[in-house]
Structure 1
Amino acid sequence: MESKTFAIITDIHSNLVSLTKALSIIDERKGIDQIVCLGDCFALGPEPEKTLETLQTIQDCIFIRGNHDRYLLE
């Protein structure tokens, strides 16, 4: 079985600056096979739309809905 290396991001809360920095650090590290987002991407922060647009550009990202994400959908 082939192993994979994951990068984990979580609790972005629409903070595009922090998300962009995190993705830059992940990009600098070689050998990351897949990014997993553990939720709470939106709410509370200043740029939910741009955060969503940025997250949608991550190829093969696994998204797990957090409680803040769920609140927005209900």
Structure 2
Amino acid sequence: MKIGIFSDIHGNLPAFEAVLTFLEGKVEKYVCCGDIVGYGPYPNECVEKISELSDAICVAGNHDWAVLGLEDLSKFNDEARASLEWTKKKLSPASASFLMGLDYKLAGAHFIAVHGSLIDPLDQYVKTAED
């Protein structure tokens, strides 16, 4: 089975649509590893597009939880914090409900999906092979 794995959409609908177009007919399932919202101007449209993918599983990223008040905004840089504050104001109740339903980790028989790392599923950056 071929699986399309993507993450860090960050409200960029045109880029997300390009990814989905590229993967169309090439994969049987999708895995979204979080950060659907933040930075980009289309948070609701990106959430809606993911929620319409019947063959997708999705985990939350730190930006997804931050717009819901589940992550401390003080740990984000100024640009990220400003975009998250803007996104909070624009986020629809339906989008907030979808994001609230996402867990930070999904485990299957042969895989684990997280946004960050296995040590810190939401926030840790993996920069080296040792990480």
TM-score (norm 2): 0.50
Higher-Rg structure is: 2
* Aligned position for 1:27: 24
Q: Distance in 1 between matches of 2:36 and 2:47?
A: 8
Give 4+ residue runs of structure 1 displaced > 4 Å after superposition: none
The residue type equivalent to 1:19 in the other structure is: F
Q: Distance in 2 between matches of 1:52 and 1:38?
A: 13
Q: Structure 1 residue 48 and structure 2 residue 43: aligned?
A: yes
Of residues 2, 5, 22, the one that matches 1:8 is: 5
RMSD: 1.1
Q: Distance in 1 between matches of 2:18 and 2:68?
A: 27
> Equivalent pairs: percent with the same residue?
32
TM-score (norm 1): 0.86
SS at match of 1:55: helix
SS at match of 1:25: helix
Counterpart mapping for 1:56-71 below 5 A: 56-71=51-66
Q: Distance in 1 between matches of 2:22 and 2:6?
A: 11
The residue type equivalent to 1:6 in the other structure is: I
SS at match of 2:53: coil
Q: CA deviation at 1:33?
A: 1.6
Name the count of aligned residue pairs.
69
Residue-by-residue CA offset, 1:45-65 (whole Å, 9 max, x unaligned): 111111111111111311011
Residue-by-residue CA offset, 1:26-52 (whole Å, 9 max, x unaligned): 0042xx121000000101111111111
**Structure 2: gaps (5+ residues):** 70-131
